[in-house]
């Protein structure tokens, strides 16, 4: 009899326990992202790390495909009121997000309302500038930022009689080195990925040339493209001529064809600093490579200035409860802490977003262990950004980049001169910008 009552009591208490649970459930915060594979693990670890430091909030990352697919998903979800709190949006979507005033909650507002401490000055200006308004208010949190660098084949340089520790600094030097490399049996000198981002956008910033009026669009929706300026025309023209002699070899849009570098065909590659892991993985045991800053044209006054970033940032979406926003604010502070940033930077190769993280990484001796890893940071902090080099904010940027790709392809195929192509680019791009302005005023 007594045994049965004990068992009943136990059963009841188990039931009560199960029914009520171990206290209140944590507030869930959904974070939609586009980071696959190893980077996806990084995202999961970041969320897990935050969740472990406190029990009130639980950040739940959800992988939503590529950047474009994630954007589509978020728009679909927003229109159906099923959207997450945090979404990772690529840099070309910045203008769209910023213009969607009823859909987003800017970071500065989020921080102010949640009462969490927030110091915009702690963020590296070249990194945060892209995602900040003209008067310094942060709109989204920089998350995974990178900048273009020059990868070069040290083995090839040795074979061609060039000093592997002295990569070319200027574009004329690139051509000279390329000719020697070709003489040593390397069919091509230079190839690139992301030609739009590297050879037009960053080219402009690195030489302190405007990409568009109104501070590259940061100061207003009525910006107009200025990519057909003398420096840009000269550079593209030169690349077009080099394409004929394989000093430069075009491999395809976006990140299409780094294989030209991996196979040793092209001895130099301009690519994102975030490509480091991929380049290292693909070249282990095959060739030794080095990293150098982007070359520049020495006859342009003020060059080199600083490069601008690419990548993505974290946007907060409107329409959620204040306690959820408090959780988001805490999470953002966690992400921005020097410790977390330093670990992330060293793990992924993405730029650290705060000065403190950079200093910490330096102090940990990381850059000695991995020479070349600091090239990216040096590029973005080379000089304080000017209005031409804080970043850019143009509507329908993805479409404008498509136009850029198309027009550049006509130059590489020898169908148009650089000036014709860039003039056409500017004209077509401006049409798109005006359309965006109309739709989003």
Partner 1 sequence: MVEPRPGLTILTHGVLSLGVVLVAFPLYVTLVASTHTAESLLSRVPLWLGGHFWENYRTVLGAGMRAAGGASVGTMLRNSLVMALAIALGKIAISIVSAYAIVYFRFPLRMACFWTIFLTLMLPVEVRILPTFKVVADLHLLNSYAGLTVPLIASATATFLFRQFFLTVPEELAETARIDGAGPLRFFWSILVPLSRTTIAALVVVLFIYGWNQYLWPLLVTTDEGMYTVVMGLKRMVTVADQAAQWNLAMAAVILALLPPVVVVVLAQRWFVKGLIEPEK
Partner 2 sequence: MPKRVVFPHRALPWALVFPQLLITLVFFVWPAGQALVQSVLLQDAFGLSTHFVGTENFRRLVADPNYVHAVRVTLVFVGATVGLAMAAALLLAAMADRVGRGVVVYRTLLICPYAIAPAVAGVLWHFLFNPTIGVVAGWLQALGYAWNHVLNGGQALVLVILAAAWKQVSYNFLFFLAGLQAIPRAVQEAAAIDGAGPGARFWRIVFPLLSPTTFFLLVLNLVYAFFETFGIVHAVTGGGPAKATETLVFKVFNDGFVGLDFGRSAAQSVVLMAIVTGLTVVQFRYVERRVQY
Kindly list the residues in this chain that would bind partner 2 in the complex (CB under 8 A). Answer: 68, 71-72, 75, 78-79, 96, 99-103, 250-254, 256-257, 259-260, 263, 265, 396, 398-399, 402, 405-407, 409-410, 412-413, 415, 432, 435, 438-440
CA-based R_g, the chain, Å = 25
Q: Which is nearer to partner 2, 75 or 338 (CB)?
A: 75
Alpha-carbon distance of 103 to 91, in angstroms, equals: 17
CB of 259 to partner 1, least distance (A): 6
435 binds partner 1 (CB under 8 A): no
Which range of residues in 67-75, 150-158, 160-168, 232-240 is near partner 1 by CB under 8 A?
A: 67-75
* Per-position b or e across 225-262, b if 16+ CB within 10 A of its CB: bbbbbebbbbbbbbbbebbeebbbbbbbbeeebbebbb
Which range of residues in 76-84, 95-103, 344-352, 383-391 is near partner 1 by CB under 8 A?
A: 76-84
Pull the structure tokens for residue 321.
Answer: 């409860």
Cβ–Cβ contacts within 10 Å for residue 299, how many?
A: 11
CA 409 to chain centre: 24
Alpha-carbon distance of 191 to 258, in angstroms, equals: 8
66 binds partner 1 (CB under 8 A): yes
CB of 181 to partner 2, least distance (A): 17
CA 292 to chain centre: 19
82 binds partner 1 (CB under 8 A): yes
- Report CA-CA distances (Å) from 265 to 261, 273, 275, 284: 6, 21, 18, 16
CB of 60 to partner 1, least distance (A): 9
Residue 134 touches which member of partner 2, partner 1, none, C-beta under 5-8 Å by kind: none
183 binds partner 1 (CB under 8 A): no
32 binds partner 1 (CB under 8 A): yes
CB of 42 to partner 1, least distance (A): 10
For partner 1, the binding residue among 73, 240, 293, 295 (CB under 8 A) is 73
For partner 1, the binding residue among 41, 119, 323, 431 (CB under 8 A) is 41
- CA max distance for the chain: 98
Contact 173, 336 (CB under 8 A): no
49 binds partner 1 (CB under 8 A): no
Residue pointed to by tokens 């230079």:
190
Closest to 334 in 3D by CA, of 323, 343, 321:
343
72 binds partner 1 (CB under 8 A): yes
Q: Which is nearer to partner 2, 254 or 368 (CB)?
A: 254
CA 167 to chain centre: 25
CB of 8 to partner 1, least distance (A): 35
286 binds partner 1 (CB under 8 A): yes
259 binds partner 1 (CB under 8 A): yes
Alpha-carbon distance of 162 to 180, in angstroms, equals: 8
For partner 1, the binding residue among 1, 16, 18, 37 (CB under 8 A) is 37
Residue 3 touches which member of partner 1, partner 2, none, C-beta under 5-8 Å by kind: none
CB of 132 to partner 2, least distance (A): 21
Q: Which is nearer to partner 2, 199 or 260 (CB)?
A: 260
Pull the structure tokens for residue 133.
Answer: 């308004």
Q: Which is nearer to partner 1, 8 or 255 (CB)?
A: 255
The packing angle between helices 397-412 and 230-245, to 10°, is 50
Strand 310-317 relative to strand 104-105, pairing: antiparallel
Cβ–Cβ contacts within 10 Å for residue 82, how many?
A: 11
Residue pointed to by tokens 């981002």:
197
Which range of residues in 72-80, 369-377, 412-420, 426-434 is near partner 1 by CB under 8 A?
A: 72-80
**Where do contacts with partner 1 occur on this chain (CB under 8 A)?**
30, 32, 36-41, 44, 62-66, 69, 72-73, 75-77, 79-82, 84, 255, 258-259, 262-263, 275, 277-278, 281-282, 285-286
């Amino acid at each position: 009899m007594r045994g049965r009552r004990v068992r009943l009591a136990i059963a009841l208490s188990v039931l009560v326990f199960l029914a009520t649970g171990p206290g209140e459930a944590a507030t869930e915060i959904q974070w939609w992202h586009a980071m696959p594979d190893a980077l996806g693990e990084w995202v999961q670890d970041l969320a897990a790390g935050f969740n472990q430091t406190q029990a009130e909030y639980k950040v739940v990352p959800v992988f939503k495909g590529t950047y474009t697919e994630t954007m589509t998903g978020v728009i679909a979800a927003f229109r159906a009121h099923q959207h997450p709190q945090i979404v990772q949006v690529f840099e070309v979507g910045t203008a769209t997000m910023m213009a969607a005033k009823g859909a987003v909650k800017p970071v500065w507002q989020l921080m102010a309302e949640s009462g969490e401490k927030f110091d915009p000055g702690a963020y590296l200006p070249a990194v945060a500038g892209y995602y900040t308004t003209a008067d310094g208010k942060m709109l989204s949190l920089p998350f995974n930022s990178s900048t273009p660098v020059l990868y070069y084949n040290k083995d090839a340089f040795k074979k061609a009689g060039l000093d592997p520790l002295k990569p070319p600094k200027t574009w004329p030097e690139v051509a000279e080195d390329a000719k020697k490399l070709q003489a040593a049996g390397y069919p091509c000198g230079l190839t690139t990925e992301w030609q739009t981002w590297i050879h037009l956008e960053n080219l402009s910033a690195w030489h302190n040339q405007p990409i568009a009026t109104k501070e590259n669009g940061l100061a207003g929706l009525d910006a107009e493209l200025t990519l057909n300026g003398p420096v840009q025309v000269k550079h593209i023209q030169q690349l077009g001529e080099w394409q004929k002699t394989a000093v430069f070899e075009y491999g395809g849009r976006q990140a299409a064809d780094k294989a030209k570098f991996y196979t040793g065909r092209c001895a130099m590659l301009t690519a994102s600093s975030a490509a480091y892991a991929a380049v290292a993985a693909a070249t282990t045991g095959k060739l030794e490579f080095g990293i150098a800053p982007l070359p520049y044209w020495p006859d342009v006054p003020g060059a080199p200035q600083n490069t601008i970033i690419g990548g993505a940032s974290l946007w907060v979406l409107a329409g959620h409860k204040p306690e959820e926003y408090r959780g988001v604010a805490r999470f953002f502070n966690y992400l921005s802490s020097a410790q977390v940033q330093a670990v992330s930077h060293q793990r992924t190769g993405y730029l650290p977003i705060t000065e403190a993280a950079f200093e910490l990484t330096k102090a940990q001796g990381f850059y000695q262990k991995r020479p070349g890893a600091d090239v990216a940071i040096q590029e973005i902090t080379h000089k304080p950004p000017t209005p031409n080099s804080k970043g850019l904010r143009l509507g329908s940027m993805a479409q404008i980049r498509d136009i850029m790709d198309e027009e550049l392809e006509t130059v590489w195929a020898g169908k148009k001169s650089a000036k014709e192509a860039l003039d056409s680019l500017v004209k077509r791009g401006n049409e798109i910008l005006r359309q965006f302005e109309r739709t989003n005023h």
